Structure 1
């Protein structure tokens, strides 16, 4: 990325990592369009827009805004999403559909709207927020693991497909960090929800710390951004010692099943 101010659109910027990313880009001197399904969450931002990522009309309005106000876009940050999961015999199909509709198809809708603009410009960067769950797959989180793995695959595909147009794509894969992402979780597997809430609340990592690492990695041009030590260690364990990794995962599964 160049040293000149970038034009940045961030989804889910009303709180959590989205808000922290908006702060980080703004602190660097970039122009930020903060978007969120709840416009009250971004109303204090200099540039803000209501955007439900499952709405094609909202995405079209966001593109119209950046073209009219800025004449284009440099960085699209697909951050908005929900938490969820549940054991295979507890979480229902509707829970799976909901998490895929928001976390994957919401992102695909944004790419469908903005990729033509990036190709026309022959420049741009896409930053897709996935999770460590895209690479490491603990028990009880089938839907979340699957949708985040899909985001990882989508991001790699986009990077290859758009390279000749001067458009890059990064995927972000943090471990648990303190955020309000768990506030609206309402899945059938309440035991899994309790475990996830405990892990989020007990994390030493803040959204602001993750945002700083993400911004540094985007500036370097990293395509896979693993922003914290816990995530890096988990991925390294899976790659380097699969037997030990499987043993750890199955111990965690046994603890969950015993609840």
Structure 2
């Protein structure tokens, strides 16, 4: 039986790279793709020391041609793929009245359509393989409704809905689909963040620093999700509690809890 083959978008840093390291340590063949070519070339050596048959490809998820080129390379080099992780994403914070349409288009193109393009490029490889795993990285923002994050929340909610739909659609193909929904954790999400709220960068840094989980912890939960074929991964306990409150409390009670938590 050949080692598992995994492709990870946004795989040169943060959660994507943490997952790549775990997969390589497990003996999986790893392909990381990222638009940051300099970063990708800098880190691929550390993966190849763990699993020699790992490689990096520059790729921008806003271009379907880039993803199709990766898919063709995976077919030529590995004759297919077993695990696809759509991880690339960006953040946007701001009141809806102060968030430009161009910012909406920017975040939708990456967070939602980037995942859609990844699905369209890589699902045929999983179908040809007779099954596999499709992991879409969303966020607790896709399950909750924190104010001043309408664009980000909407894209991540769409990724959750897309994943749920594909779970049904791809079941006959023996393709396991999961949505990963972490809360804030220490990553480079703020690096390309667009915000029109003063001091948001510092607040985001504080939220990420306060997390009890890091990128490696989240990556471990994704590995378990693949192993157990779970539909959702909610790594943070506080996030799970908030989701349960939203689902089971009257809306007015939940909103009071949310207001206190976000003051």
Shift of 1:4: 5.6
Shift of 1:85: 2.2
Shift of 1:252: 5.1
Which stretch has the larger CA shift, 195-204 or 62-71?
A: 195-204
Matches within 5 A, 1:49-64: 49-64=57-72
Give the equivalent residue in structure 1 for 2:257: 248
Q: Is the contact between residue 139 and residue 182 of structure 2 (CA under 8 Å) also seen in structure 1?
A: yes
Matched, 1:110 2:118: yes
Query: Cα deviations across residues 188-230 of structure 1 (Å, max 9, x unaligned)?
Result: 2334444333212322221111111111122110011111212
Distance in 2 separating the partners of 1:116 and 1:208: 29
Distance in 2 separating the partners of 1:167 and 1:217: 13
Distance in 1 separating the partners of 2:200 and 2:91: 11
SS of the aligned residue for 1:106 comes to helix
SS of the aligned residue for 1:42 comes to helix
SS of the aligned residue for 1:117 comes to helix
Distance in 2 separating the partners of 1:138 and 1:192: 14
Q: 2:141 aligns with which of 115, 123, 133?
A: 133
Give the equivalent residue in structure 2 for 1:205: 213
Q: Is the contact between residue 93 and residue 152 of structure 2 (CA under 8 Å) also seen in structure 1?
A: yes
Matches within 5 A, 1:61-72: 61-72=69-80
Give the equivalent residue in structure 2 for 1:40: 38
> Which sections of structure 1, spanning at least 5 residues, go unmatched?
none
Matched, 1:230 2:230: no
Matched, 1:21 2:14: no
SS of the aligned residue for 1:61 comes to helix
Count of residue correspondences? 252
Distance 1:94 1:190, change over 3 A: farther
SS of the aligned residue for 1:89 comes to helix
Shift of 1:42: 2.1
Matches within 5 A, 1:80-229: 80-229=88-237
SS of the aligned residue for 1:126 comes to strand
Distance in 2 separating the partners of 1:13 and 1:118: 19
> Which sections of structure 2, spanning at least 5 residues, go unmatched?
49-54
Give the equivalent residue in structure 1 for 2:52: none
SS of the aligned residue for 1:25 comes to helix
